[in-house]
Structure 1
Amino acid sequence: MQELGTGEAIARAKAVYDYGHTAIFASKSDPRLHLALYIPPTAAEGRKLDLLVAVHGTSRTSAFDFLNGFAEFGLYNDCAILAPIFPVGVFGDGARSGYKFLEEGDIRYDQAVIAMVEEMAEKYGQNWSTFAMFGFSGGGHFTHRFAILHPEKLWAASVGAPGSVTLLDPTRDWWVGVRDLEARFGKPFKPEELAKIPVQMVVGDADLENWEITHKPGGRYYMEGANDAGQTRPERLSALAQSFREAGVQVTLDVVKGVSHDRIKVLGHVKAFLTKVLSERRQK
């Protein structure tokens, strides 16, 4: 068997692990956190790409559903897909939901995602100073809160079926409202920046189970007003859409008939939204 030369072996390894569906990488800024990507193979020839960050739900396995589900979209729309992977129990306590609220212990998950994007932009020679973000369920938590805090980083946001929502309420503290946003995160809320982003909110009309999303006194994330946005995901997402619209944000609310809490069955609506936004973005 003929052995590969060093240069050829390196090129083969890059083709296998760095393009198409990539290996799982540890983040350089925080190796406790990981990421995987879909990179259209044309990027190896220097083609410039846009970026979609797709954020998993509580099980974390949806990261790979999104990498697979958006691969064809990415290939034909010149768009890379980056899926952060935030392990359950990163502090050894079994906690599942810290990332949904952007902070946990010494981790700022919003800053971690920005660092991941910067790392991968450098790796692939891309300009990803802004990107789109989609998340479903726990990822929907993360996406709308990231948009509230970092609107200047996004060219689009798609918020899928979050269990709890942060309304743009200046009379209530985080996470129910945004009154103490600057004190907590070091950045003020800028509704004029958020209003520049096209936002989709998507949920199934049969997504009605609320056993996991009802906050009770004594719970880790319970606070006054935790359940005020509604009893079900459709109700809470409708309240979020109204809150964003009152702040001047252009919101597309897609309530998908006959669909329960099923991330795969909403992806078609998300891809249609992102394709439209990409087309408009590239015509400017």
Structure 2
Amino acid sequence: MTIAAATPAPETEDRGSQIYDLGHTTIFASRHDPRFSYCLYVPANLGQEAKPDLVVAMHGTGRGFTSYRDAFSEFGRWNNCIILCPLFPVGVRGDGNRDGFKYMQEADIRYDQALLAIVEEVGERYALNVDRFALFGFSGGGHFAHRFLLLHPNRLWAASIGAPGSVTLLDPTRDWWVGVRDMKERFGIEPDIAAMRNVPVQMVVGAADLETWEITHRETGRHWMPGANDAGRTRPERLDSLRRSFEAAGVKVQFDLVPNVPHDGDRVVEHVENFFAAVLKNRRTNKKAKPEV
């Protein structure tokens, strides 16, 4: 005799959702590309007040994506934000490459599109409007954050760029990744400076973040190209070069050089939270001020 599988009772489904889909969630594979995954912090009062905003925190080379989820969880709870932390593993093509996501493209993989697919999936799961979100990244995530901003400024309501080892300047005389001359040919996207001017931008780095062993490009390196080290020797110098490049194009930047802090993403989180909170306050005030149509 065949026994039909029992259909889970509604209360069982609700309990599972509370455990795995709210608060500090489980880890989900991306439907778009299961090589990539993500975890979330989702406020437990989801649906009981205004729809939350979305904040994406991108890991660095060490892939500590759950630690950023945990670090931003209290911010998410008290500011009604969902925190999304993607994972782009090392060596997804079997070659041990640690750095592919930082430069947006690795062979046929477009990491900007992989993130956008995850964002849309999260929007669908939680019934959110994800036309715009905030993006933070530190170290390798700082690579990703500022290059994503170059490619998709219209998708961001704020960008926080933390201590990238290398930077892409708004330089139309040099090719990607040092400049943006061939961005259209590579990505099918022209730099949209006007849209970038509408995105609040923070750049944050520790004043004691001065080691250069990991960020000095050498001619034998995978991402070597002429001009690779021209933006400066240290991370603060390179980030300041990025600031000057942005500001020369009319993009306003809040530059936070944090005293006595080395290369430690956890120690800049408070500064990022303060920046996002201020942007959120203005964003939500402006939404309320707009008359209903």
Query: Counterpart of 1:196?
Result: 198
CA contact (8 A) 1:164 1:213 kept: yes
Matches within 5 A, 1:68-87: 68-87=70-89
DSSP-derived class of the 2:264 partner: coil
Query: Counterpart of 1:57?
Result: 60
Query: Counterpart of 1:109?
Result: 111
Query: Counterpart of 1:27?
Result: 30
Deviation at 1:105, TM superposition (A): 1.8
Q: Which 4+ runs in 1 deviate beyond 2 A?
A: 44-47
State the structure with more CA Rg. 2
Query: Counterpart of 2:244?
Result: 242
Establish whether residue 182 from structure 1 lines up as the match of residue 158 from structure 2: no
AA aligned to 1:19 is L
Query: Counterpart of 1:39?
Result: 42
Structure 2 vs 1, CA of residues 80 and 134 (structure 1 numbering), >3 Å: closer, same or farther? same
Deviates more, 1:156-165 or 1:35-44: 35-44
- Give unpaired runs (5+ residues) of structure 2: 1-5, 287-293
DSSP-derived class of the 1:41 partner: coil
AA aligned to 1:253 is F
Alpha-carbon distance between aligned partners in 2 of 1:151 and 1:176, rounded to the nearest angstrom: 19
AA aligned to 1:275 is A
AA aligned to 1:202 is V
Alpha-carbon distance between aligned partners in 2 of 1:33 and 1:74, rounded to the nearest angstrom: 23
DSSP-derived class of the 2:17 partner: helix
Deviations 1:88-130 (A, max 9, x none): 1111111100000001122100001111000110100110110
Deviation at 1:82, TM superposition (A): 0.3
Alpha-carbon distance between aligned partners in 1 of 2:108 and 2:150, rounded to the nearest angstrom: 21
CA contact (8 A) 1:206 1:258 kept: yes
Deviation at 1:47, TM superposition (A): 4.3
AA aligned to 1:31 is P
Match of 2:13 among 10, 13, 17: 10
Alpha-carbon distance between aligned partners in 2 of 1:201 and 1:229, rounded to the nearest angstrom: 15
AA aligned to 1:57 is G
Deviation at 1:134, TM superposition (A): 0.1
Query: Counterpart of 2:260?
Result: 258
DSSP-derived class of the 1:43 partner: coil
Matches within 5 A, 1:135-284: 135-284=137-286
Structure 2 vs 1, CA of residues 45 and 283 (structure 1 numbering), >3 Å: closer, same or farther? closer
Deviation at 1:46, TM superposition (A): 6.7
DSSP-derived class of the 1:133 partner: strand
CA contact (8 A) 1:38 1:81 kept: yes
AA aligned to 2:56 is V
Deviations 1:214-248 (A, max 9, x none): 00002100000000000000000000001011111
TM-score after normalising by structure 1: 0.97
Q: CA RMSD in A?
A: 1.3
Deviations 1:162-206 (A, max 9, x none): 000000000000000000000000011111111110100000010
Establish whether residue 127 from structure 1 lines up as the match of residue 129 from structure 2: yes
Match of 1:118 among 117, 120, 141: 120
Deviation at 1:41, TM superposition (A): 1.0
Deviation at 1:7, TM superposition (A): 1.1
CA contact (8 A) 1:230 1:239 kept: yes
Aligned length, in residue pairs = 281
CA contact (8 A) 1:19 1:44 kept: no
CA contact (8 A) 1:245 1:251 kept: yes
AA aligned to 1:59 is G
